[in-house]
Structures are given as structure tokens and as C-alpha cells.
Amino acid sequence: MANDSERGKAVYWLIDPIGWIFPALRKGPADAAPDAASRWVEVPGHGAMVADASVDLMGATCLRTNLVTKRALDAARPGTVVEIVSDNLSSVETIPFMLAGHGCVHLGTLHLDGFWKIYARKLGADEGEKGQ
């Protein structure tokens, strides 16, 4: 039988609408302590950096990709580097234009084998004017 802690997590997962609607934003045990070495990326014009958050949207439609991206950007703390992974070209074309509206700056887009990685950094309150 599950202990109270496990039962509480299961109940929360069932009633957590964001987790159900946006599985890319769910936090599980695998996400709790990611390997920092695997998150280093070289962004042209910005150098090497660690992606603090990653949203995997491979196979997602354009609308879902944009909605999950919006949610991830709004939830990011200032200074956070967000990596958005998508194979949907129309989303990849629109995401850089929506970043400023969510307090982020576009660091770069990398085209890899059949998919793209978009990197954005959340600006702090004092950086709002400089980054846009």
C-alpha cells in the first residue's frame, strides 16, 4: 500500500490540470537533478551556456507548441535560459517573435537533424528595456 506522501502526489497529479494539458511541463524524479554537463550548449554569438529549463515539444502541433512555450516562459525566473525543442517549422518561425512579450530575449536558434532548438533568456525587471 502506498504511503501518505505517495498517495498525495498521485492525487495532485490527477487534479493538476496543467500537468495533464502540458505534459512537457511536468516535473518528475528524472527532472529533479538533471546532469548539468548534458545541458551545456554553444549558442552562436553568445558562447557556451547551460540551459536551465528545457521544453521538449517534438511531434506537437503549432498551437500546442506555442501555448506550452508561453507557459514555460511565464514560469521562468529572471536569468533563466530556456531551451525549446521542436520539429514544427511554423512554431519555430513564430516563437522568437513572441519572446519579447514574455520578458525574454532570443539568444539563438539551432537547426539540427530534423528539429530545432530555440534558446531564450528571461530578463529581470531592471533588464526589460536593455534586452528588447
User: Is the CA virtual torsion 75, 58, 121, 123 positive or negative?
Assistant: negative
Q: Are residues 50 and 8 in the same domain?
A: no
Q: Are residues 46 and 24 in the same domain?
A: no
Q: What is the average per-residue pLDDT within 6-28? A: 48
Same domain, 37 and 18: no
The full DSSP string for 20-70 is HH-GGG---HHHHS--GGGGEEEETTTEEEE-SEEEE-TT--HHHHHHHHH
- Same domain for 118 and 79: yes
Residue 7 has pLDDT above 50, yes or no: no
Do 82 and 113 lie in one domain? The reply is yes
Are residues 98 and 47 both part of a single domain?
Answer: yes
Report the CATH number that the domain containing residue 46 is assigned in CATH: 3.30.110.40
Do 22 and 42 share a domain, yes or no? no
State mean pLDDT over 17-32: 47
pLDDT tens across 80-95, in order?
899 999 999 988 999 9
When pLDDT is averaged across residues 27-42 and rounded to a whole number, the result is: 52
